[in-house]
Structure 1
Amino acid sequence: MLANLAPFATIVILLVWMGFFMFGSLPLMILKHDTSLDARFIRGLFDVYYKAVMVTAGAGALAHAAAGRPVIAFGMAGVALIAFISRRGILSRMDRLRDAMTATDTGRIRQFRRLHVWGMVLNVAQLCVVCVGLVKAL
């Protein structure tokens, strides 16, 4: 029973985190991204999301590998890897922009918003791939 429960639980938790981020970050697009507080909040949300996905997908990869499901384990490891790379890339760029950004610096504000959108698009694409992959693998 536990051999089936742990892999299933990791999938559910991963989908919850991805869905939460998708629906939670979309309303934040109304922010102007022009203050340090806005930028810090958005950056913090991305940080929590990436850490949660890395841990959940990593645990899912191990659980599925132990349950004898190598295809799903490989997919979960891929999700964890994409979250790791995205966290390093997107958050470092957000930090650089946030440190140099002022309320009147439209160029950097626009770049920060693009990073926000890019992170959201990447999450939605990954969520779609996970869902389609699960349907095909199970």
Structure 2
Amino acid sequence: MFFFTVLALIATVLALVCMGYFFLGSVPLLVLEHDTPLDSRFIRGFFNVYYRALPALAALGAVSYALAGKAGFAVEMALIFGLTLAARRIVLAEMDTLRATMTASDVAAIARFRRVHIAAIALNLAQLVALGVSLTLLRL
């Protein structure tokens, strides 16, 4: 049981680092114009890496918390896992759709890409805050 508690905490810390790094790295990307293929490809790639790493860490955390007898935290990590997988499908698909047709003069598509970018950052921040606050309730 102690082993699974330690493993869950390691997964949680790594998930927090992943979320924090993504937040700190994605906000400055808002200064990019989002209007060139290189900008949009870089942003999409950054999100893709995040949407691959976080579900793996959340799944490890969920299973470890469940095996450690911490059902509430297992559910929270499972929710982060599911929400991140859903966001990956939606956000990356929307970015791919916009990137395929976006030109430097297409103000509407650029604005939409930027809104998708901001929405993904907001979702990440909400997950980061929720996980961080819930850790104050953890009793080992």
Superposed structure 1 runs of 4+ greater than 3 Å apart: none
Query: How many residues are matched?
Result: 138
Question: In the alignment, what sits opposite 2:6?
Answer: 5
Deviation at 1:9, TM superposition (A): 0.2
1:35 aligns with 2:36: yes
Question: In the alignment, what sits opposite 1:62?
Answer: 63
Aligned-CA RMSD value: 0.9
Q: 1: CA distance between counterparts of 2:97 and 2:133? A: 35
Cα offsets for 1:6-44 (capped at 9, x unmatched): 011001000000000000001111100000110011001
Q: 1: CA distance between counterparts of 2:123 and 2:6? A: 28
- Unaligned 5+ segments in structure 1 are none
- Unaligned 5+ segments in structure 2 are none
- 2:45 is paired with a residue whose SS is helix
8 Å Cα contact 1:71/1:137 also seen in 2: no
State percent identity of aligned pairs.
Answer: 42
Q: 1: CA distance between counterparts of 2:35 and 2:26? A: 16
Cα offsets for 1:92-127 (capped at 9, x unmatched): 000000000001100000000000011001100111
TM (norm. structure 1) is 0.97
Amino acid at match of 2:79: G
Question: In the alignment, what sits opposite 2:105?
Answer: 104
Matches within 5 A, 1:1-138: 1-138=2-139
